Amino acid sequence: MTDFLWQDRDKKEYVYPFNPRPECLDMIQRPPTVALDIGCGSGGVGHALRQRYPDCKLWGCEFNAAAAQVAREHFDQVVEQDVETVDFAALGLTRPFDLVCLFDVLEHLVNPWQLLSGLKRIVAHDAHILISLPNASNLPLLYDAFRGHWRYTHWGLLDFTHLRFFTDFDARKMFYQTGFRVLDHRFSFPGPGRDIYERHRADVFPAALSLEGLTVQVQSMADLARLCADQNLYVLSPHHGEFRDEAEREMASDAYPPTYAYGG
């Protein structure tokens, strides 16, 4: 008898892919001097950072002992514990991190707000935080929901170990509420949404987008990207409670506008 999805994952030792995440690292705006990769897996990001910035001090956090052992080949130091409990100074950190990577991590946490807020004790005043998050606005995902079911998998948008789901708007609220502003945002299209995006990117907007029996009125190219992307990628920096305008202040509150215009 074939194991159920959740049984199959429990019985097998999960092998972390060696993924350097170039689509995320290409968003780095300045060379880092001391970087932290939270959930560093087997070290793909550390390997890529070492190649790009050979003088950067590299730290990783990874719960999985087997993956952490492999990652040590690419980081100066790998810690096998919850980043919120690590005393980095006691381990030899002499200056705060100016780059932190959180790639496909926050969606696995019960309280990602708490982790983000806690980062302020270990990052520089002007640190950059790189984040990738699965896009809960993804149209193929929503189409399945309209038909009445989710399709949980071992990985991807509906990895069955995901605990939190974020649209771009809700992710931005989380960032602002925990002390960070968005410096850059991009979409990533590794999944089936790419085909939809490529077919319709030359449309004149507003345009009707059809997916089998579902038709969606898309108002702009930005809306099309939001509906087709598998991931939202961000560069954040601390805002220290200093908001540049009223829009930022509102984003940091619990208020939601009656109708959200994409791009806020």
Render pLDDT for 220-263 as a digit per residue (tens, 0 to 9): 999 999 999 999 999 999 999 999 999 889 889 988 876 554 44
67-105 CB burial, b ≥16 within 10 A, e <16: bbebbbebbeebbeeebeebebeeeebeebbbbbbbbbb
**Cα separation, 145 vs 107, whole angstroms:** 19
Render pLDDT for 91-143 as a digit per residue (tens, 0 to 9): 999 999 999 999 999 999 999 999 999 999 999 999 999 999 999 999 989 88
Q: Containing H/E element for 263? A: none
Closest CA to 129 of 119, 121, 143: 119
pLDDT over threshold 90, residue 3: no
pTM for the complete prediction? Answer: 0.92
Q: What is the pLDDT of residue 94?
A: 94
Mean pLDDT for 5-17 is: 64
Strands annotated E in the chain: 34-38, 57-61, 77-79, 97-103, 123-134, 180-188, 207-211, 214-218, 231-238
**Cα separation, 33 vs 99, whole angstroms:** 8
Chain-centroid distance of CA 63 in Å reads: 18
- Residue pair 61/83 in contact by the 8 Å Cβ criterion: yes
Q: What is the pLDDT of residue 8?
A: 66
Q: Give CATH for domain 5-191+230-251.
A: 3.40.50.150
Say whether 211 sits in a helix, a strand or coil.
strand
